[in-house]
Structure formats: C-alpha cells, structure tokens
Amino acid sequence: MRIAFTSDEKNGLESTMSYHFGHCPYFIIVEIDDNKGILNVKSMENPLAKEHAAGDLPNLMKELGINIIATGGMGPKAQEFFAAFGIKPIIGVYGKVKDVLEEILGTKVDYFEKEKPAETMEHKHEEIIDIEDEVRRLKMDVKELRKEIAEIKSILKN
C-alpha cells in the first residue's frame, strides 16, 4: 500500500502536513507492507504546486500507485477524481506525517532504513518516543498553533 501525504516540508516522516492539497510544496510517499511496516519513505516536490488543471494531481497520484492521500483540505472536484481512480482521500488531518500515519494505521511506526536509497529518499532514523515526551510535544504544538491562529484572525479582522 502507498500513502501520499501533503507536506510543507521535505523532511520525510518528520514533515509538517500541508493544509492545502493542490498547492502543497511537497508530497511524502510512504510505502507500507501487509504487516503495517514501513518499506520506503520518499519526499518529492509537487511538480504542479503553482499551476494545474482539475484532475492533474489525482492523475499523478494514480500514476505513482497511491492508494490513500492524506491532507488538510481538498475540494469536492478533487475528491471525485480520487474516487474515480480508487484512491481514498483522508481530509482534515494536521500535524507531523508520522503522527498522521500512526493514526491511519492504528499503530505506532518505527522506520529504520536498511540501505541508502535513491537521492530522493529520506534518510531518517526515528526514535521510540516516550508517551510523556509526546504529550509535552503535543502541548507545545497546540500552544504554537493557538498563536498562529490568533495572528491569522487578527490579520483577517484588519
């Protein structure tokens, strides 16, 4: 199974999810085996981030063999294209790619690369995270997000 994540960064599983499907700068593509183990992680630039026609990105995902696309937001037309291609969109997700992947799979993931892949692949050794550390990190994320939302709200109000 292959899952594509929209991303604002090119940091593999540690990338931050992008909130806009069509104009995200990167896709993080994770290949999963039948036992929910990670086989491969690839970071790729979105070749159509600046300009594309309706259906171009769903078609690209189909060509890449994607089964699931996870993103913050996606229009209804794109959702229709994905449905026609048999690709399941998961919308409204946010946070780190690794965390969203764990939510989708329903299990904690560890990824240790066995050999150096092609240049486009990420070379990342993930740590097993202590639950208290994870809670602390999430609380800090929430605090930062509240600041960002407040700033955006202020800008929109003005």
Which tens digits make up the pLDDT trace of 105-142? 887 776 654 333 333 333 333 344 457 766 777 777 77
- Supply 38's token pair: 């990670």
Measured distance CA(147)–CA(141) in Å, rounded: 10
List the structure tokens of 45: 């630039």
The DSSP bridge partners found for residue 88 are 68
pTM: 0.68
For the beta carbon of residue 6, count every other beta carbon within 10 angstroms.
Answer: 27
Regarding the domain delimited by 2-127, which CATH topology (the fold level of the hierarchy) does it fall under? Nucleotidyltransferase; domain 5 (3.30.420)
User: Who's near 123: CB < 8 A, 6+ residues apart?
Assistant: 113, 116, 117
Of 32, 72, 26, the residue nearest 49 (C-alpha): 26
Mean pLDDT of 12-40: 88
Distance CA 137, CA 16 (A): 14
Give the three-class secondary structure for 28. strand
**Four-point Cα dihedral 83, 84, 85, 86, nearest 10:** 50
What does the pLDDT average to over 23-27? 90
pLDDT of residue 146: 65
Q: 126 φ, ψ to 5°?
A: -85, 145
Check residue 126 and report its DSSP letter.
P
Partners of 28 in the β-ladder = 5, 43
